Chains A and B, each alone.
Chain A
Amino acid sequence: MARDAKSNKPKSQAIEIMKRLAKNKLAMLGLVVIVLMILVAVFAPWIAPYRFEEQNMEAVYLSPCKEHLLGTDKLGRDILSRLIYGARQSLRIGIFSVAIGAVLGTALGAVAGFYGGRTDNIIMRILDIYQSIPGMLLAIALAASLGPGVNNAIFAVGISTIPVYSRIIRASIMTVRDKEYIEAATAINASDFRIITRHVLPNSFAPLIVEITMNIGNSILMAATLSFIGLGAQPPSPEWGAMLSDGRNFMRDYGYLVIYPGICIMASVLSFNMLGDGLRDALDPRLKN
């Protein structure tokens, strides 16, 4: 008797992975911080005590006090509010730049790894040339030529990380490519596109997912660097790296100007890295119990 195939859905893999992830305390801490960041970013206008560009010339360089919990900067803007709004910028930069890099990088790496031979050689050699330019330098050059601005910074950071993803996905595809189930898929006449998207990529995603989470942190850092040297977010936009840059001249007298944005950058990068580490363990099926 043919029964309804849909009647007994198994526990989905995502739930299984989440369960394993939940056992990792550091990863959960990272996840909590990230979720908090996202909430803060989404509800920034309601949470922040002031608008991020609101100036108060009568209250410049205030140390942390009751009205301004984290003090004010040279234009009397509330640092806490700017940090809260800054979460929006940083998350946007992190997520979108990684998305650009990961999508393009995966596509290139998948094609190179799956077809091998000459295709692989051409793609990888181009990426070699590409990678011989230090990532930061490339991002700076791109951002400089595109002109300063958050969107261009996102683009620059995204493009400069393509080779990283290509290499990772290529390496893991090459181990999957020769598995018998890929041969079996050819034998049932699945097209190359179908084999890559349905059989090869899903089996080689684990290292990529880890890399993506880790790289969100790196991208935030990179964008902060770009902003720090004036190529990223422009005033008055409250990007953490830009705030750091603004405050660096007054670091000796008003340390809190750089400490708090610095802590924000560090916390977000660290959280993404911890989550990435945890994901790597959770995604490894050999650790299944």
Chain B
Amino acid sequence: MENATLIKVNDLVVEYAADKKTVQAVNGVYFELRKGETLGLVGETGAGKTTIAKAILGILPDPPAKVRKGEIEFDGQDLLKLSGKKMSHIKGNEISMIFQDPMTALNPIMTVGKQISETIRLHNKMSKAEAGVEAVKMLELVGIPGERYNEYPHQFSGGMKQRVVIAMALACKPKLLLADEPTTALDVTIQAQVLDMMNNLKQELGTSVLLITHDLGVVAEMCDRVAIVYAGEIVEIGTAEDVFDRTAHPYTKGLFQSLPALESTEKRLKPIKGMMPDPTELKPGCKFYDRCPYASEECKAEGMRARDLGNGHLVLCKKTEEVM
């Protein structure tokens, strides 16, 4: 745990312009990721998880997306202030991304080998043949026989495609891997295989991983630390043990309660009541106010501050004592 910080996101605010409204997608997100560590970013659909990842990589579509403020410090430099040229050195080389749906993340008319070697050649001065050899190595690293270099994506199954996508993302041995729901589109057995493989590769290459997911099971298996995202804010962040065993935010608690227990037969799921607030008209104060069983008047007040519960366990709630 004494490792150096690799990336530090500070007060990141991202907005989308939609007609006349602005969608406040990310509102002051802060977190740190150390070298070799895996941080899970957990939250519902639309909470802003993917936006955070894309902001780090600088591939938010602008317009409509706009980074309003904040710093993303990666290896000592602020990515948001970097020139296009320097940023292009980092994109795909030092930071790379795995996309959610392996079915569409590969170009259907290019052989998988070519797609991997393209990534390699974009960042390394290599001949085609050398890059080809490298790409075959990457394929075999993710457990695909090198003979399949010249096959097209449609000749691969879903799990295999995701392996190819991972091979592409890892081809340049990045320091940081942004994995955007890498297993959501896969069935459970394949999911386990892919996660296993990612874990091994991570250890082998010493890559830090930002794992975006809404699957708490995946988090438990993969992550050292967890950040819970709600309406564009990180409401709770801490080590996996702290967040799972000493849950401090009512939203996190609700998430855990909504999981059906395996031991008892449950007739009904226990969802969190209500809906996520409309991101075009967020109120000041606690975003979870409307759905929170612990809410009281003071939660409406402006100026929510994260509270440190020790050991880097931060929570954005005034009622933590009652929750725990």
Task: Name A residues whose Cβ lies closer than 8 Å to a Cβ of B.
Answer: 1-6, 8-10, 13, 117, 179-181, 183-190, 198-199, 202-203, 285
B104 touches A180 (CB 8 A): yes
A9 touches B104 (CB 8 A): no
Known: A183-B99, A184-B97, A188-B91. A5 touches B105 (CB 8 A): no
Residue in B104, B137, B150 whose beta carbon sits within 8 Å of that of A179 in the complex:
B104
A190 touches B136 (CB 8 A): no
- A–B Cβ pairs within 8 angstroms, 14 of them: A2-B146, A5-B136, A8-B150, A10-B151, A183-B59, A184-B97, A184-B106, A185-B107, A187-B99, A188-B92, A189-B89, A190-B118, A199-B107, A203-B108
Residue in A8, A181, A184, A188 whose beta carbon sits within 8 Å of that of B147 in the complex:
A8
Known: A5-B150, A10-B151, A187-B91. A202 touches B109 (CB 8 A): yes
A285 touches B147 (CB 8 A): no
A189 touches B111 (CB 8 A): no
On chain B, the number of residues with a Cβ less than 8 Å from chain A's Cβ atoms is 43
B147 touches A189 (CB 8 A): no
B133 within 8 A of A: yes
Closest to A188 in B: B92
B208 within 8 A of A: no
Within 8 A of A (CB), among B96-141: 96-97, 99-101, 104-111, 113, 117-119, 122-123, 129, 132-133, 135-137, 140
Residue in A3, A179, A188, A198 whose beta carbon sits within 8 Å of that of B96 in the complex:
A188
A189 touches B91 (CB 8 A): yes
Within 8 A of A (CB), among B150-171: 150-152, 154, 165, 168
B137 touches A13 (CB 8 A): no
Task: Name B residues whose Cβ lies closer than 8 Å to a Cβ of A.
Answer: 57, 59, 63, 88-89, 91-93, 96-97, 99-101, 104-111, 113, 117-119, 122-123, 129, 132-133, 135-137, 140, 146-147, 149-152, 154, 165, 168
Q: Which residues of A contact B57 (CB under 8 A)?
A: 187
Residue in A10, A186, A189, A190 whose beta carbon sits within 8 Å of that of B150 in the complex:
A10
A189 touches B93 (CB 8 A): yes
Q: Which residues of B contact A185 (CB under 8 A)?
A: 107
Q: State in angstroms the CA–CA spacing of A203 and B104 once bound together.
A: 12
B88 touches A189 (CB 8 A): yes
Q: State in angstroms the CA–CA spacing of A185 and B109 once bound together.
A: 14
A190 touches B100 (CB 8 A): no
B93 touches A184 (CB 8 A): no
The 4 tightest CB contacts between A and B, nearest first, are A188-B92, A5-B132, A189-B91, A180-B104
